[in-house]
Structure 1
Amino acid sequence: MQRELTPGDLLDGRGRLAEAGWARSEVRRYDRDAVAASRLRIKEWDYYCVLTPEYGLALTVADNGYMGLLGVSWLDLTGRTEVTENVMLPFPMGRMGLPAGADAGDVLASHKDLRIEYRHVDGGRVLSVDHPGFDGGRGLSGELRLDRPPTDRMVVATPFTGAPKAFYYNQKINCLPATGEITVGGRAFAFDPATAFGVFDWGRGVWTYDNTWYWGSASGLVDGRPFGFNIGHGFGDTSAATENMLFVDGCGHKLDEVTFHLPADTYDGADWTFTSNDGRFEMTFAPVLDRAASTDLKVLASIQHQVFGRFTGHVVLDDGSRLEVRDLLGFAEKVRNRW
């Protein structure tokens, strides 16, 4: 079952999810003050990943209640290397001021020598980063503009079984053409909107303590047409809606269930495969680079494998037409958090 959300407030008068389901736009209004759970349990983040065929940039600003995070990742897809640096901020509990929606409100975050900004501009948004100490003093800085053409997005409101105060409200906006330049170690890397595309992951919610999720995303051109997808599972009660969705020429095509088949004991060796219960998403994924990170403090832990690579296979659109996909750049990940 895929239940489409109706407009209204995200949470009811008791601070619980008013309706579970999916949408093509931000139809439900999130209000942090309406959340019933402790401020220590509220999790909010804005994450961008922008990829070209040779390199990419990922930026994270997150307020997870008892811990905030500013993250910068530089991805060398040709050399199959990456550098990720995170700054942890103790007990922000809303002071980072992340917006209540994905379409308005700027994000301005800094700590010591690291600054990350997301600003809305006419027809898009601008990402700015300045990190002089990145990678042992090599430094990383620059600015990217992500155009925002008219397009559907993936929106999902998900409850958690047995935890009435818990919920996840998530938006993924794919196929954002990127223009600009990032300088790393004194070398400038250009982002051309013909080959550089970003995805925006906007998340707000109250999570249960121990979760393992799977997420996959890709954006680019297929037969000259803007094409992308969002797939995932593993958290919450998805009986009302999954987060699986295709985007072609700005139009969203809703999918049901997609299963990730990971190779045993490796993340960036053998190919991954993806299958769907209705045959509408069938892919193999050839890994290029595993952005792995592991923090284990026993009570708190995060074990992450975000693997970048290329998808090949086919999808079936809502009208029954079949679209062949070959070597589309994107990523797939498995993350376990105790938080």
Structure 2
Amino acid sequence: MAQIELGAGDLLDRRGRLAEAGWARKEARRYDRAAIAASPLRIKEWDYYCVLAGDYGLSAVVADNGYMGFLSVVWLDFRTPSVTVESVITPFPLGRMRMPGSADAGDIVQDRPRLRLAFRHTPGGRRLSIDCPGFAKGKGLRGVIDLAQPPMDRMMIATPWRGAPKAFYYNQKINCMAASGEVILGGETYAFRPDRAFAVLDWGRGVWTYRNTWYWGSASGLVDGQPFGFNIGYGFGDTSAASENMVFHEGVAHKLDQVTFHLPPPSAAGTYDAAPWRFSSNDGRLEMTFEPIIDRAETTDLKVIRSIAHQVFGRFSGTAILDDGRKVAFTDLLGFAEKVENAW
């Protein structure tokens, strides 16, 4: 499959349509919400961070999905294992959450009585601030985590939909950000140290069609003392111009073609945490197995809005071949893989 690498320019043309589909190693395209030609109800904008630190982890999201605003924080305990979630939904923000038009500039500060989230840029990185007094039935969760972002490649992709000219997805994934700080949960302090805690940012802006299914996988860590990670995924839109599959090694992106998720059958409980997964690329450059720990399974059915989501956290082992032919072997790399079906 052709992999079209994009240069700099506007994301949308004068008609509000995707100017060109393809991928890049940096934020190559300029996103302007005002240039969108579709209904504000169809626009979806989010920043999602996931920070994993060996025995535990945290994720936080701020999303303006047009008809629904969404804030959420998730605590993951891989020893128990268990997941605790606190979410806040607001009706019809329609852009009033003022999500930044760039992944490299503009802060997000959302203050609600139950949950306060701030995602700010700092010199050489980012700072996540979280305060949720009622988290885990009143235990409370608060913390500040700093993410280091030295000069390094990322995954950027601009994806259209066949038959829906006003629809597009502009996505950036920034892997391998070393994390430092602490989170206090119910009086117990959890440290995030940069030698073992790493974050990914999923920065998404777009106009989505109503029904979609996606597969996404991500992991970041150290392999032989060097930053290593990957972003893999597929399932929605027209990806004939580019896939989102990349391996990151020492800050450099290595582009892959197609990657397939070989999911095992779900367990009797309907989850995907009982059997190993397998992943393979059609170019033979990525082969992995995945040992699940937690399936963060959520089903929502509001008739018009429906979602079946399985975000499975676990450990990846396998090999990746870089652009220069070097092979990187990795074992027990902490990350996640997910399958999400949406009608939204």
Length-normalised TM-score, structure 1: 0.99
Q: What's the CA shift for 1:16?
A: 0.2
Question: 1-side partners of 2:138 and 2:101: how far apart?
Answer: 35
Residue in 2 aligned with 1:38?
39
Secondary structure of the residue aligned to 1:46 is strand
Q: What's the CA shift for 1:113?
A: 2.5
Q: Does 1:311 align with 2:316?
A: yes
Question: 1-side partners of 2:304 and 2:97: how far apart?
Answer: 24
Q: Does 1:2 align with 2:7?
A: no
Alignment of structure 1 residues 100-139 onto 2, 5 Å: 100-139=101-140
Question: 1-side partners of 2:257 and 2:33: how far apart?
Answer: 30
Given that 2:266 and 2:274 are in contact with CA atoms closer than 8 Å, whether structure 1 keeps it comes out as: no
Question: 2-side partners of 1:107 and 1:185: how far apart?
Answer: 26
Report the AA paired with residue 164 of structure 1. Answer: P
Q: Does 1:282 align with 2:287?
A: yes
Residue in 1 aligned with 2:64?
63
Alignment of structure 1 residues 255-294 onto 2, 5 Å: 255-266=256-267, 267-294=272-299
Alpha-carbon displacement from aligned partner over 1:141-178 (angstroms, at most 9, x marks no partner): 01000011111000000001110000000000000000
Q: What's the CA shift for 1:126?
A: 0.4
Question: 2-side partners of 1:37 and 1:292: how far apart?
Answer: 31
Q: Does 1:239 align with 2:244?
A: no
Instruction: Number of aligned residue pairs: give it.
Output: 339
Q: What's the CA shift for 1:265?
A: 1.8
Q: What's the CA shift for 1:135?
A: 1.3
Secondary structure of the residue aligned to 2:70 is strand
Residue in 2 aligned with 1:143?
144
| % same residue | 66
Question: 1-side partners of 2:177 and 2:154: how far apart?
Answer: 11
Could you list the runs of 4 or more consecutive aligned residues of structure 1 that deviate by over 4 angstroms after TM superposition? none
Consecutive unaligned residues in structure 2, runs of 5 or more: none
Length-normalised TM-score, structure 2: 0.98
Secondary structure of the residue aligned to 2:137 is helix
Secondary structure of the residue aligned to 1:135 is helix
Question: 1-side partners of 2:150 and 2:56: how far apart?
Answer: 23
Secondary structure of the residue aligned to 2:41 is helix
Q: Does 1:158 align with 2:159?
A: yes
Secondary structure of the residue aligned to 1:328 is strand
Question: 2-side partners of 1:106 and 1:317: how far apart?
Answer: 34
Alpha-carbon displacement from aligned partner over 1:175-233 (angstroms, at most 9, x marks no partner): 00000000111111000000000000000000110111000000000111100000000
Two-structure CA RMSD over aligned residues (Å): 0.6
Residue in 1 aligned with 2:177?
176
Q: What's the CA shift for 1:40?
A: 0.7
Q: What's the CA shift for 1:7?
A: 0.8
Select between 193-202 and 288-297 the one with higher mean Cα deviation: 288-297
Alpha-carbon displacement from aligned partner over 1:78-126 (angstroms, at most 9, x marks no partner): 1110111211110001000110000000000122231000011111110
Secondary structure of the residue aligned to 2:16 is coil
Report the AA paired with residue 307 of structure 2. Answer: S
Secondary structure of the residue aligned to 2:34 is helix
Q: What's the CA shift for 1:325?
A: 1.2
Question: 2-side partners of 1:113 and 1:247: how far apart?
Answer: 37
Question: 2-side partners of 1:109 and 1:303: how far apart?
Answer: 26
